[in-house]
Structure 1
Amino acid sequence: MSSLSSDHAKGLVITGIGGMALTVDIPLIRLADGDPWTILMLRGLTTFVVTLVIWVAWRMLRGNAPTLIPGRAGLAVAGLYSLSSLTFITAVYTTSTANVVFILAFNTMFAAFLSWLFLKERPRPVTLAAMVVMLVGVLVIVGDGMSSGNLFGDVMALVTAFSIASAITITRASGKDMGFTALVAVAAPLLVAAYMVSDTGLQVAAPWWIIFNGAVITPVAFFCLATGPKYITGPEVAMFYLLETVLAPVWVWMIFSEVPSTASMVGGTILIVTLVLHSLWQLHDGRRRRAALAVRHPA
């Protein structure tokens, strides 16, 4: 096997592990069965501690650990990830799991729009068409939320998707390594949650689930998904993010018997099919461009 093929296979395995780990995030939050502030505090605390341990070990053993928060751009990215942590937990507790993951899938199109607006990376016509179709899918879900009383949770999921897309855009614009920034950003919501819990006390039936989530699942998921682009293309990495969109509602349905509404399934199907088709088109177009470049500039 060539070195290129070996690296590609390695990238698929690493990113696949990250994508699969991410699919159990919401089920573990639900299994912990606790107050949102308690869940946010325990999840944030364990993630923060594990991140610092890994960063210190990296710094001591190799001496080239990335900066935790690189400059003003790092502060902005950390602030956006902090906001997304708060709105994500709120969404999990105020709307259905299916709605949360389906709406979060829209962050890729938010990122494309923000890159067009601020980085002058004009989307191609196919991407623009996909954005319009996905907007229809989100409107179907949010419209159902208005009639079922889940509108607030759906809006929180949209804010989460937009915050993550904004953080990605700033990261790309700065060109800096933000690998640890998203993880240490849990410090701000952790402090808010700790203040709230100080009045009410810990309210969680099964804390080990959320501690496991924060100490293992969250770091593994985001580390692997951030490492994947070293070996495989962006569209390939994006497809592994879809694992959460597809599988998280399945795990919740199997564990809690929570059946998505018809509108949620319709809107989610629109989002998933559009994202998969768009990602496959990007992969095909990328291969076609590389092949054309190779013919034009033979080695």
Structure 2
Amino acid sequence: MSTHHDHQKGLLITAIGGLTLTIDIPLIRLADGSPWTIMMLRNATTLIAALVVWAVWRRLSRNAPQLIPGWSGLAVAICYGLTGITFITAVFHTSTANLVFILAFSTVFAALLSWLFLRERPRLVTLATMLVMILGVLIIVGGSVGTGHLFGDFMALCSAFFVALAITISSASGKDMGFTSLVGVVLPLAVAAFMVSGEGFHVNAPWWIVFNGAVIMPISFFCLANGPKYISGPEVAMFYLLETVLAPVWVWMIFAETPSRDSLIGGVILIVALVAHSLWQLHEGRKRRAALAVSHPA
């Protein structure tokens, strides 16, 4: 299989995952239920769908990936589980724009964690980008003071951190974590089921969240988790930005929720910084590949 073909395949897979993920938050909002009920339904259907797909894959092929590949897989599953809890909590305690803009901060956390634990020292351009993104998040969070969104913003920041930690562990292990993010929903599912048993089942349109958990989440998580096998990290990051850009648009169209001025300013700073840095990384990667091709011609 040619490298060019692999690259095209990776772009297609990751684009599907990124575009699919953009409707996650609108579907959660359309379901119109309590946070714990939404979390339970979303994670239960995601887990069932993942196990069914994995069982069929395993029956048809001996090369089916492990659900949890070793201790590193367990750590990644826990990280995604914590992400599920903090993400749903953030959906119900801050605006969609604040949530997706702050989630983009996961790239800063990933760079810091790689620096601390993988000894991957970031370059000066990356450090400058991180400082600009910190400014963007501070503007968003500062605008939430007194609006009741501060707790939700903090939960979004926690979600970004746990995603970055999962990515760092996955990179260090080099193992296939395609199903691990989906199996990780066991943790938030257990917590949500316990809470629902006490407060009761509250959701007005359960079909939206069942569709989300059974179809949208497995497709988006699996595609985004497998994209890095074929394309570079910066290219994957560009497709993650689709949710940052499009989710607030869908919510504005459906619910007429308009982002605040501070949220828009901070969000624009985050997006511009991420796009500029990703384009720079892609340019550097092409230069290195070209230099290698000259040094070691086929």
2 CA distance for matches of 1:295 and 1:71? 40
Map of 1:29-108 to 2, 5 A cutoff? 29-108=28-107
1:284 and 2:297 matched: no
Residue 83 of structure 1 aligns to which amino acid in structure 2? L
How far off is 1:9 after superposition?
A: 2.3
Residue 66 of structure 1 aligns to which amino acid in structure 2? P
How far off is 1:71 after superposition?
A: 2.2
TM-score scaled to structure 2, two decimals? 0.97
Percent identity reads 70
2 CA distance for matches of 1:86 and 1:240? 23
Unmatched tracts of structure 1, length 5 or more: none
SS at match of 1:148: coil
2 CA distance for matches of 1:246 and 1:281? 20
Residue 107 of structure 2 aligns to which amino acid in structure 1? T
2 CA distance for matches of 1:225 and 1:181? 12
1:253 and 2:252 matched: yes
How far off is 1:149 after superposition?
A: 2.0
Residue 230 of structure 2 aligns to which amino acid in structure 1? Y
- Partner in structure 2 of residue 178 of structure 1: 177
Q: Larger deviation: 195-204 or 115-124?
A: 195-204
Instruction: Compute the RMSD of aligned alpha carbons.
Output: 1.2
Map of 1:129-208 to 2, 5 A cutoff? 129-208=128-207
Instruction: State the 4+ residue runs in structure 1 displaced beyond 6 angstroms.
Output: none
How far off is 1:85 after superposition?
A: 0.5
For each residue in 1:117-143, what CA deviation from the matched residue of structure 2 results, as whole angstroms up to 9, or x when unmatched? 110000111101000000000000111
Residue 177 of structure 1 aligns to which amino acid in structure 2? D
How far off is 1:26 after superposition?
A: 0.3
Q: Larger deviation: 171-180 or 280-289?
A: 171-180
TM-score scaled to structure 1, two decimals? 0.97
Distance 1:102-1:19 versus aligned 2 partners, 3 A rule: same
- Partner in structure 1 of residue 227 of structure 2: 228
- Partner in structure 2 of residue 209 of structure 1: 208
Distance 1:73-1:231 versus aligned 2 partners, 3 A rule: closer
Residue 246 of structure 2 aligns to which amino acid in structure 1? L
- Partner in structure 2 of residue 240 of structure 1: 239
How far off is 1:226 after superposition?
A: 1.8
Q: Larger deviation: 58-67 or 97-106?
A: 58-67
1 CA distance for matches of 2:218 and 2:27? 14
2 CA distance for matches of 1:252 and 1:225? 22
SS at match of 1:204: coil
2 CA distance for matches of 1:196 and 1:147? 28
How far off is 1:146 after superposition?
A: 1.7
2 CA distance for matches of 1:82 and 1:232? 26
